[in-house]
A and B are shown apart, each in its own frame.
Chain A
């Protein structure tokens, strides 16, 4: 067994320490869910109070691009899951390539997202910056929440990419830890980023 993480004094066994790391990560992820929960709450309230305008705004979303993005993120999650298996099997080099693949997909997601933002700017539905075709009231509010939600999500995508990238450098030896503690936690974070998008997509794009 290739144990690269030292046993910390407060833990009686390495197994217990791994358990604790994993559990701690899960709890941290639940806090992330609740952060987005606040934004989802605002979106649901908006939908309940102004369902017609909400549907109209949602129809104007580029749902093809959003759909492609959903597929991109799902694929990247699958790649990351494979990466964890590779680490557990001791295939550190394969894991490195899988990470690079996932990062590429993640960057593709961001590129598509920014393309969408540019299209929205051109269409004149960006509050404050390019609001020519935005009606006052719920339409503006929808776009406000759209930018806040997807912007916050994009920040988390960058966070996830950084975390994954750190498995290449400077924490490359974590790929050689066959109990996959760090790799597993980075993967969990990436899966959460994916899951949040899976809820954002229908909430924003498919309410028609």
Chain B
């Protein structure tokens, strides 16, 4: 079997391949002890530390998801008790949002690639970067403590007064976990912003930055400006819960809607934290697959900033039926339409980039196309939700659940896998089996649509969210959704297997296996500790692929400073 596969796929070999010279000189070889990893300040090693952590949390959140979908196979509560189910979906949300999605692409690929893409040796504040990871891990420990203490049942949204007064779960510990993780985000955001401003190599003007960098810059702005509001909101909820000050509980003289405003002021921009980096990844993957300049560079770059800014103005669309003023709802509805425009601009520009390209259809491209397809559906259902009468009917139902999973899972997780495949050779120095990559991409796409497509229908038919006992008439669609989830899980499992296998059996990648532009491809795979032998000097734009199609080797886009110049 292996023989047949490796014959079909020249990237894998039958026998384990020992360490190459590049690997022996790379960042991976700078110390093999645990201590060298846990005290590293190398952005590339920190990225690997994050990769391991978020994979662990993705698995935890995935277990919670499995419990949910298993329970929902039948209308009756046969797997979990009511309280057990409430804890399952709460933990699923908290872990997936704060300990997987928000960190995922920025802390793994942002950390690894940002310095490489701008020709720098590291981020601006390497020790702060390590501190970010430790803070993240402490937050993660607090989450595990929450589980050990019996879990929390407030939902990831912690609405008051249920969370502040009525819940019997480990609310304080859960709040503490999220509170701590916020500081990790803030420090990463500061690091990224200062890095992009101050560490660009000579010739790397703002107009020559890869779109991945623009996307992460916009994300970092949101990290820095939105997260503190969540921090203080959680402090207020904790004070109300532990000490009994009345800010959110009407019985104590407070206003529950105040919590919702403060919470969503952060949590709406947070969803753009989850999607902007993915869009940055897609820009890189599409341009490389088409081997062509991006269509509308400044529009794509500018739309990332526009999404970040306008994203701060739309939080009230989570509160259309909350009891807020109808005129406020009308304004938020309008602004939510406005924020959809830059996203549409990106999608149209990616499509136009494919025009007259020289397209190779491989794993990374399939993941990128998966993103475009699923994000588009998710985004358009979001537009539907901006229409007030539609939202009144489907908010708090499975329609919304489907909407945000299409974007966050269909979109961001697909982009994460695309990034993992595209930059795997750079990070590890090895090639993987692309046939399996394409199979996984398609499994993930199909499994995803089967899981979440039916949920749009369930929602419109009136099945509320966070229900684990439901009317029997909803069962067929729920079964379809759960079966889809099984396919999705298999799709997510395959890459773990063949990517790990590539570490021993994958052919050495060389510096630029894809013929891609981008400074990260001008250095060995895996890169040495200081990234570049000599400081790169840039004189060309990003994505300066040769016009008219692929030639034998794409010329890298920097002139390496010759010795003595």
Contact = CB atoms under 8 A, between A and B. Distances in A.
Interface of A: 8-12, 16, 19-20, 23-24, 27-28, 30-39, 41-42, 45, 49, 127-128, 136-138, 140-141, 144-145, 147-148, 152
A14 to B, nearest CB: 12
A9 B531 CA distance: 11
A62 to B, nearest CB: 21
A37 B226 CA distance: 11
A121 to B, nearest CB: 16
A136 B251 CA distance: 10
A41 B247 contact: no
A19 B198 contact: yes
A24 B232 contact: no
B252 interface: yes
Contact of A38 (B121, B123, B224, B228): B228
Contacts of A23: 193-194, 197-198
B229 A144 contact: no
A128 B245 CA distance: 8
A13 to B, nearest CB: 10
B191 to A, nearest CB: 8
Contacts of B252: 140
B116 to A, nearest CB: 12
A141 B120 CA distance: 51
Given A12-B535, A35-B228, A39-B232, A128 B194 contact: no
A24 B192 CA distance: 10
Contact of A141 (B229, B232, B246): B246
A135 B75 CA distance: 49
A31 B224 CA distance: 6
Dominant SS among interface residues on chain A? helix
Most B CB contacts (10 A, CB to CB) among A8, A34, A140 go to A34
A30 B254 contact: no
Nearest to A16: B198
B258 A45 contact: yes
Given A10-B199, A11-B199, A144-B247, 7 more contacts: A23-B194, A23-B197, A24-B190, A27-B189, A27-B190, A141-B253, A148-B245
Most A CB contacts (10 A, CB to CB) among B225, B253, B255 go to B253
A128 B229 contact: no
A34 B121 CA distance: 32
A23 B258 CA distance: 33
B124 A20 contact: yes
B232 A35 contact: yes
Interface residues of B, number: 44
Contacts of B258: 42, 45
Interface in B114-162: 115, 120-126
12 contacts: A8-B126, A10-B115, A27-B189, A27-B193, A32-B228, A35-B231, A37-B228, A37-B229, A42-B258, A136-B253, A138-B253, A147-B245
B512 to A, nearest CB: 24
Contacts of A10: 115, 120-124, 126, 199
Contact of B122 (A9, A30, A140, A141): A9
B124 A148 contact: no
Interface of B: 115, 120-126, 186, 189-191, 193-194, 197-199, 224-229, 231-233, 235-236, 239, 243-247, 252-255, 258, 261-262, 265, 530, 535
Contact of B243 (A128, A138, A145): A128
Contact of B229 (A34, A145, A147): A34
Contacts, number: 109
Given A11-B199, A20-B198, A144 B246 contact: yes
A12 B243 CA distance: 51
B247 A42 contact: yes
A34 B225 contact: yes
Contacts of B198: 11, 16, 19-20, 23
Nearest to A41: B262
B229 A137 contact: no
B124 A24 contact: yes
A25 to B, nearest CB: 9
Contacts of A12: 535
Contact of B245 (A30, A37, A127): A127
Contacts of B229: 34-35, 37-38
B502 to A, nearest CB: 30
A33 B245 CA distance: 23
Contacts of A137: 253
Contacts of B261: 41, 45
Contacts of B265: 41
Contact of A20 (B194, B236, B247, B254): B194
A204 B254 CA distance: 18
Nearest to A138: B253
Contact of B262 (A30, A38, A49, A147): A38
Contacts of A128: 243-245
A140 B252 CA distance: 8
B227 A31 contact: yes
Contacts of A45: 255, 258, 261
A55 to B, nearest CB: 17
Q: What are the nearest 6 A-B pairs in CB distance?
A: A38-B232, A34-B228, A10-B122, A144-B245, A35-B228, A20-B198
Contact of A148 (B190, B239, B254): B239
A138 B252 CA distance: 9
Contacts of A9: 121-122, 530
